[in-house]
Amino acid sequence: MAITLNSGFKMPVIGLGVWRMEGKDIKNLIFNAIKIGYRHFDCAADYKNEEEVGEALAEVFQAGLVKREDLFITTKLWNSDHGHVVEACKDSLKKLHLGYLDLYLVHFPVATRHTGVGTTASAFGEDGVLDIDTTVSLETTWHAMEDLISMGLVRSIGISNYDIFLTRDCLAYAKVKPAVNQIEAHPYFQRDSLVKFCQKHGVCVTAHTPLGGATANTELFGSVSCLDDPVLKGLAKKYHKTVALIVLRWGIQRNTVIIPKSSKVERLEENFLVFDFELTEEDMDLIKTIDRNYRTNQPAKFWGVDVYA
């Protein structure tokens, strides 16, 4: 099952995010995911595992499990490389052992002091706060992203963690419209206005953290997971599914792409069972009632500045 992007290319509605996945585990994870049926992998320079992902992909292709054109590979431009878009993209391609990317995203709508192409360090000022670069505009960054398409390095370009107003601005100055806005979205942080705005203007929404972060974000940010919500537990019992599957199915029925992460094969298999049932309209409406406007991914904890403010 796939969504056709405004660039004309098809994007599988479920992918595997590789954030916080250790190098030694990535090979087996990607092999197993492909055998299960995954064809969409979500990477980023900042995840610091592109080389390991690339080695795994090279082995997958060599083994004949799939061909390059069978997969949809996303990676992202880090904050410190906004003024070095072409070099950063080429660096990611080299690490991933790929000739082109299916999708390249601006990871966050903030440029920070350059620390070297592909290093993905977060530079801090003397005050201990993220050192934001005021000489590179998001518009400048976007036009450099557009150049990647004409250079044949990427097929589609997009944005990530952009709110309605930043998305509107991007649509206004873009020669090539963003194909995707990847945002945090789950039942506790539904962001209905942003989702509908993007979809109205032909921008596909990809939901990162589609399960509300669960263990990973609880460890990093001390956040609460929606997977313990009694409403969702009741629906899981009703449909004879896990709570995670209810949440993922909800995401798909909103016409968003979902990229859950898991390092466990049994979870990969379970998450891929999202296509054999459908939530009723009444139950979709019920899930609307548990929205808390609750963001679980909070980089301000590390950066000393709230880039979402």
Q: pLDDT for 166-185, tens place per residue?
A: 999 999 999 999 999 999 99
For the entire predicted model, the pTM comes to: 0.94
- Per-residue DSSP letters for the chain? -EEE-TTS-EEESB-EE-TT--HHHHHHHHHHHHHHT--EEE--GGGT-HHHHHHHHHHHHHHTS--GGG-EEEEEE-GGGTT-HHHHHHHHHHHHT-S-EEEEEESSS--B---STT-----B-TTSSB-B-TTS-HHHHHHHHHHHHHTTSEEEEEEES--HHHHHHHHHH-SS--SEEEEE-BTTB--HHHHHHHHHTTPEEEEESTTTTHHHHHHHH-PPPGGG-HHHHHHHHHHTS-HHHHHHHHHHHTT-EE----S-HHHHHHHGGGGS----HHHHHHHHTT--------THHHHSS-TT-
Is pLDDT above 80 for 221?
no
Q: Lowest mean pLDDT: which of 95-99, 130-134, 211-215?
A: 211-215
Is pLDDT above 80 for 104?
yes
97 is an annotated ligand-binding site residue: no
From 38, 47, 104, 162, the catalytic residue: 47
Is 294 among the residues known to form the active site?
no
